[in-house]
Structure 1
Amino acid sequence: MAIPPPPGPERSEGPYPPAAQGPYQGPYQGPYQVWGQGYSPYNRPAPVNGLAIVALVLGILCFLPAVGLVLGIVALAQIRKRGERGKGLAVGGMVMSSLGLALLVLAVATGGVSDFWDGFKGGVNDSARTGTVFSLRKGDCFDEPGDSSKSVAVHVDKVPCAGRHHAEVIANFAMSGAGYPGRGSLRDVADAKCRTFERAYAMDAWAVPDDVRLYHFIPTRDSWNLGRHSIICMLESGDGKSGLKGSLRKDGFTLNADQFAYLQAVDTLDVALRAAPAATHVDDDLRGYKEWATSVSVALDDEAHLLRGHGWFPAAEKPVATLVDDVEASREEWTKAAAATDADTFSAHFEKGLKLIDPRGTVTARKVLGLTTTPPSNDGGGGSRDNGGSGGGLEV
């Protein structure tokens, strides 16, 4: 026997009215709502106020505390108005800025700011002035603290060259090689190269005081093993007490074109005159004196060509031309001395040639060119300043 189905809802018989159709209704409606562009099913958090962040940063750094306090107040007003986040940041910045402002007022009232600034300036000046010997560079002026007569030096105080100072650096060059060359070898190199650097740095030898001597720093074995291979050449006060005043630098960095051209020309002769034989009398080394005369004659010829080849300003043309005439006349005498067969003939031409290049004959040209016009008292005849070699040095 068939079991009848459970009773269901009563339904009416007859036709059913069609469901209402919208103008965009498709054949199937899914169970999920479709979100159009520009809408999101999730709630976005409110943005953090930018001024609140800035106020907190200024408060933490104690930088411009008054500004940090004002920005915190403005940030709170914007947060209330716009519904933004960051109230805690703004309040924290205001608190810390207020503390910083209070400390600043206290420091000003007690003079703490002035003390801090003075100490800061002093620290900067000390760090700029004080250093090791190895920090010295060409053109630096410095003092040696303590006993400058000791054989080993490490620390120096850099000072402005315009004021009183102990020494002035004329060159800083590095030695090559891995092994320590030895003290004697380093001193020989320093003596030779520092003399060359002196001529290039202080081209106007007349401007260098008579009591100034050439000095140098050479590395010790320990410094060498640490990679410090520099030799430092300097000019210093001869007595080590009175010091130098003003820079001794006279080179292409400080001279004008005419001054540089003149000093470059006369340096050619100065170098040759310094190479005189060691023998006191011509009779003792006639051959050596004749070779020397030949080199001086060549140097005089080079000097004349350099002086004639430069385009001088009008006021300098005549005194320089007169100087060139003397140089060429002197060259003829030195050439004759180089060809002499006996000491008397050599001496006669040597004396005439030397007289024609007397330093006092260059004073007029020097004055017009704006160079020093007082010859050094130890002048050797050609305007050079030769104190017999390097004054020695210290190990560093």
Structure 2
Amino acid sequence: MSIPPPPGPHQPQEPYGQYPQAPQYQQGSYYGMPYQPWGQGYHPFNQPAPVNGVAIGSLVTGLLCFMPGVGLVLGLIALSQIKRRGERGKGMAVAGSVLSSVGLALWALSLATGAASGFWEGFKEGARDDSSLSLAKGDCFNSPGGLEGFTYDVDSVPCAGRHDGEVFAAVEMPGGSFPGDDKVSQVADDKCYALQDSYAMDAWALPDTVDIYYLTPTRQSWRLGDHEITCVFGHTDGTTGLTGSLRNDATTLDDDQITYLKAADVLNTAMDAAPAEEYVEDDLPGYKEWAERVADALTKQAGMLRDHPWPADAKTPVGELVKDLEAARKEWAAAAEAADVDAYYDHYDKGWALTAPEKSVTAREALGLATTVPSYDYDDGGSDSGGGDTGIEV
């Protein structure tokens, strides 16, 4: 359906140019010709030609200088379109092309002098400030969403007060393409549990409510150079939080305490290497090999404790502990030579009783170490590491 013209005679005033006199019209048509709206040459408010949008883009990118190559290409395209369409914006296109050419020259110079590399490193460093990427070993922090899911920012807080997590280690992954979330989580799980003892040397001092979490890079942060896994202590529920630092290493312990804990770790490591089979009957050879490793560890532990010059109030309790360890070593060595399962169990039970955690409480008290036996110590063959996915991505 055609659009009816406005009412009244449709004739121009006295001619101002060579326009022919407009024909009379009927409703809806010019003598059978469809009615046409006002064109540019006949509009009572004649509009100027539009500005070329590509020219504007060229000028903007040229001024910002962050994509000089794009700005130059846009400028050339704009000049071609302006000439063909009769649009405005030639000055902007020329200015954008010139500025982009200068930007390209500066980029080439910076690449030759290494300035671009420095700028990019500075940019990445700035991206790490005030975020989860800026955490270092020993830092305590709060995360808006707790210790599960995703986080893009954390707040560093004093460890003395309430906090969501405490960083105890950092693991740098090799460069290259992003290995995938599953691979990153696997590395985090393996490394973080292995590194906890270097920060919290006395496992007895860790509350039962503490678990291990880790902050891992996402595919997006990996592109910015974030290849670091951050290992964190946090509450088992991820939200309750902790109070006070859990750090006990060379920065907080004296030489006597460190010597004792290093000796204890020798036995702990051997105990953690128990066979996967739950019952001795299912893998007697494997359990005999394990008993031999435990006997060797007891020999080393007893020697480390015996050779250290202990303070006066610790000499007697440490000496009594050494006697128990040496007696335990004989039983574990005999278990390693057992002819059958019954003989193994006989020596195993005696050796286990002599290495029970309660045997070391008196020596620990004399050295000023924690004396509350953890509920998980030596359970199921002595493994004291947790499991599960306790990761938070950044």
Query: TM-score scaled to structure 1, two decimals?
Result: 0.64
Q: Tell me, what secondary structure is at the counterpart of 1:368?
A: helix
**How big is each residue's C-alpha offset from its partner over 1:333-388, in whole Å with a ceiling of 9 and x where there is no partner?**
11111111221111111111110011111111011100111111122169978143
Task: State the distance in 1 between where 2:330 and 2:219 align.
Answer: 52
Amino acid at match of 1:142: F
Name the CA shift for 1:319/1:332 in 2 (closer, same or farther; >3 Å): same
Q: Which has the larger radius of gyration?
A: 1
User: What is residue 141 of structure 1 aligned with on the other side?
Assistant: 140
Name the CA shift for 1:363/1:260 in 2 (closer, same or farther; >3 Å): same
Q: Tell me, what secondary structure is at the counterpart of 1:289?
A: helix
Question: 2:355 is matched with which residue: 354, 357, 360?
Answer: 357
Task: State the distance in 1 between where 2:142 and 2:285 align.
Answer: 47
Amino acid at match of 1:223: S
Task: State the distance in 1 between where 2:390 and 2:180 align.
Answer: 16
For 1:76-95, what aligned pairs fall within 5 Å after superposition? none
Question: 2:196 is matched with which residue: 190, 195, 198?
Answer: 198
For 1:106-185, what aligned pairs fall within 5 Å after superposition? 131-146=130-145, 148-150=147-149, 152-185=150-183
Q: Tell me, what secondary structure is at the counterpart of 1:247?
A: coil
Amino acid at match of 1:339: E
Task: State the distance in 1 between where 2:342 and 2:386 align.
Answer: 27
Task: State the distance in 2 between where 1:304 and 1:267 align.
Answer: 12
Question: 2:253 is matched with which residue: 228, 252, 255?
Answer: 255
Query: TM-score scaled to structure 2, two decimals?
Result: 0.64
Alpha-carbon shift at residue 256 of structure 1 (Å): 0.6
Amino acid at match of 2:324: D
Residue ranges of structure 1 left out of the alignment (5+ in a row): 1-129
**How big is each residue's C-alpha offset from its partner over 1:143-171, in whole Å with a ceiling of 9 and x where there is no partner?**
11135432x22211111111111111001
Name the CA shift for 1:359/1:254 in 2 (closer, same or farther; >3 Å): same
Q: Is the 8 A contact 1:141 1:159 kept in 2?
A: yes
Task: State the distance in 1 between where 2:387 and 2:300 align.
Answer: 25
Name the CA shift for 1:339/1:323 in 2 (closer, same or farther; >3 Å): same
Alpha-carbon shift at residue 273 of structure 1 (Å): 0.9
Q: Is the 8 A contact 1:269 1:382 kept in 2?
A: no
Amino acid at match of 1:132: S
Amino acid at match of 2:137: K
User: What is residue 207 of structure 2 aligned with on the other side?
Assistant: 209
Residue ranges of structure 2 left out of the alignment (5+ in a row): 1-128
Task: State the distance in 1 between where 2:381 and 2:291 align.
Answer: 17
Q: How many residues align?
A: 267
Name the CA shift for 1:184/1:241 in 2 (closer, same or farther; >3 Å): closer
User: What is residue 231 of structure 1 aligned with on the other side?
Assistant: 229
Task: State the distance in 1 between where 2:212 and 2:303 align.
Answer: 31
Answering whether residue 255 of structure 2 is matched by residue 274 of structure 1, we say: no
Task: State the distance in 1 between where 2:269 and 2:254 align.
Answer: 22
> Percent of counterpart pairs with the same letter?
50
Alpha-carbon shift at residue 188 of structure 1 (Å): 2.1
Name the CA shift for 1:221/1:241 in 2 (closer, same or farther; >3 Å): closer
Q: Is the 8 A contact 1:167 1:234 kept in 2?
A: yes
Name the CA shift for 1:303/1:351 in 2 (closer, same or farther; >3 Å): same
For 1:28-47, what aligned pairs fall within 5 Å after superposition? none
User: What is residue 186 of structure 1 aligned with on the other side?
Assistant: 184
Alpha-carbon shift at residue 246 of structure 1 (Å): 0.7
- Once superposed, what is the RMSD of the aligned Cα atoms? 2.1
